[in-house]
Structure 1
Amino acid sequence: GPDAKNAQVFYISKKDFEQARRALNSIDNLAQTAVRAVKETTAHNIIAERLGVPKLEPKAGRHPYRKLFAAVAQGKEELSDEDKNTVIDALSSHAASIAEEQPEKLAKLRGDIELVTLEALIKRYEEMLGEKLAEGRWQDFFHENPFILNMAFGYPVIKVRDQASVGGRKLSGDGEKITDFLVKNSLTNNTAIFEIKTPQTAILNKTPFRDGVFTPSADLSGSINQALDQKYQFQKQIAQIKDNTRLYDIESYAVHCCLVIGRAPDGDDRKKSFELFRRNSKDVEIVTFDELLEKLRQLSVFLRVAGAPQKATD
């Protein structure tokens, strides 16, 4: 405690002193380790750039102090929530003038934001793939990020409605056919039906039908028939659906069906069997969840390369 005669003197026990010494030494060690990691990575990256090999990120470790020291050593500065909001508000207020005076910088900023957003989406997708989620969670995910379905569809689409009724109701009121997503080509208005299952859904049977030949699972064949029935009902009742919904800019020239289901199989025989079956499914396009993830990753790589500064050539 404080000295009775001298207020500037404070006494602590040997136990408290030893505890403080150890804590400060630990912080010092964490700082040295973080700085050393940043130095080693920086040296590697300087040489890597010359050799054309991938660069590395410093290993920040798990301890929050070490992460902080590593960030400081790299010259990174964390913004507070208030600072972030200030930046966003300032950008929103001056976006028009920036676009007029410095369009290149605004385009670069937009590209950076899109890339960061895409990488965050990829991370979220990867985390969801690691969990056993119900169909509804995946339907919500694609509802929030419909552009992923654009990649699966292959040409410009806009979502008409999710959980859309495509007909089939009986006089008893039963039998209503509900598709997960009804979309249309933004140029021709031709419609498409999307059915979303789960990554855990089996797409092939476990045992081979013949040596090296695997048959589609009941879930896969059933999902295909489900999509085809929805297509049939939709085409048969398109006029009534238009009238009931007041959606007159949808057409059923050649309704496309897309099924998102399961994961790409392992093993050469299983891959062969899946591709043989999928490529002969002319009316229903089958895409696996991990294939969509890979498309997102490829898009991220493309945007990163496209946004990288071009090296001057002699």
Structure 2
Amino acid sequence: MKKFKKLLNEDKYFKSELDLLGNPSTENLWQTFFEKNTWIFGYGLNFVFSTNLEDKKIEQVVSGFSFNEYGKRVDSLLKTRGIISSLCFVEIKNHDTKLLNNRQYRADCWSVSNELSGAVSQIQKTVQKSITNLPTQNRINDSNGNPTNEIVYLYKPKAYLIVGNLSEFITEHGVNESKYSSFELFRQNTSSPEIITYDELFERAKFLLDNEINK
């Protein structure tokens, strides 16, 4: 959690981590971080425990043929945990991605940024192609092509978009309600993907982790 917090709040630390990884894109840095900390998704997404597929990285190919072969990549392909497991999809964008455009669309009305609307379209298209190309029952193979005895199902999968930070709406004297309401109304009326900001993901994981430690 300390590293998560520093990545979110300390620009110099974030840049140093980029340098350590050979200066990849910021999205790749978050991809690497979440790859090592998949429990954050498990604790943070709708409080339904999710985890990566056995012997699979969270970034997977999900259309074209199947995630056991090749096709379109999704930032994170997860499964729900239970007696029966289903696939769910996560698209990871940057923590500093702007959620709204810089100028009002109309008085008291702010439109979402091109980056946010594009990310929503991107994961919606990925899910649609996956439903078209993947069977409802998927038997998982490991990296050598051997069956893992793991089966996951695909019907109408949940999708999540991790993007931006609610601090965008904080001013010196409080919350810009006009901006915040414009964003909140947009995401409440977007049924899929569920849009989660980085600060929300951090607070969800921190809350559940703190409660686990204090038991």
Alpha-carbon distance in structure 1 between the residues aligned to 2:128 and 2:159 = 11
Pair 1:127 & 2:6 matched: yes
Partner of 1:45: none
Q: Kindly tell me: are residues 272 and 298 of structure 1, through their superposed partners in 2, closer, same or farther at Cα, counting changes over 3 Å?
A: same
For each residue in 1:174-228, what CA deviation from the matched residue of structure 2 results, as whole angstroms up to 9, or x when unmatched? x931001111112231110111111111111111111111111111111111101
Alpha-carbon distance in structure 1 between the residues aligned to 2:136 and 2:178 = 46
Report the TM-score when normalising by structure 1: 0.53
Root mean square deviation of aligned Cα:
2.4
Q: Kindly tell me: are residues 288 and 252 of structure 1, through their superposed partners in 2, closer, same or farther at Cα, counting changes over 3 Å?
A: same
Q: Which amino acid aligns with 1:253?
A: Y
Contact 1:190 1:254 in 2 (8 A): no
Structure (1 or 2) with the greater helix fraction: 1
Q: Kindly tell me: are residues 241 and 180 of structure 1, through their superposed partners in 2, closer, same or farther at Cα, counting changes over 3 Å?
A: farther
What does residue range 3-22 of structure 1 map to in structure 2 within 5 Å?
Answer: none
Instruction: Tell me the secondary structure at the aligned position of residue 290 of structure 1.
Output: helix
Q: Which amino acid aligns with 2:134?
A: I
Contact 2:44 2:205 in 1 (8 A): no
Tell me how far 1:299 sits from its aligned partner. 3.1
Instruction: Tell me the secondary structure at the aligned position of residue 106 of structure 2.
Output: coil
- Quick one: which of 107, 110, 113 aligns to 1:217? 113
Report the TM-score when normalising by structure 2: 0.75
- Higher Rg of the two aligned structures: 1
Alpha-carbon distance in structure 2 between the residues aligned to 1:215 and 1:235 = 30
Gaps of 5+ in 2: 19-25, 142-146, 170-175
Alpha-carbon distance in structure 2 between the residues aligned to 1:167 and 1:273 = 33
Instruction: Tell me the secondary structure at the aligned position of residue 216 of structure 1.
Output: coil
Gaps of 5+ in 1: 1-120, 170-174, 308-314
Give the share of equivalent positions with the same residue, in percent: 26
What does residue range 1-314 of structure 1 map to in structure 2 within 5 Å?
Answer: 121=1, 123-129=2-8, 130-131=10-11, 134-153=26-45, 154-160=47-53, 161=56, 162-168=58-64, 176-187=71-82, 188-239=84-135, 242=138, 245=141, 246=147, 249-264=151-166, 265-266=168-169, 267-303=176-212, 306-307=214-215
Say which structure, 1 or 2, has more relative contact order (CA 8 Å, 6+ apart).
2
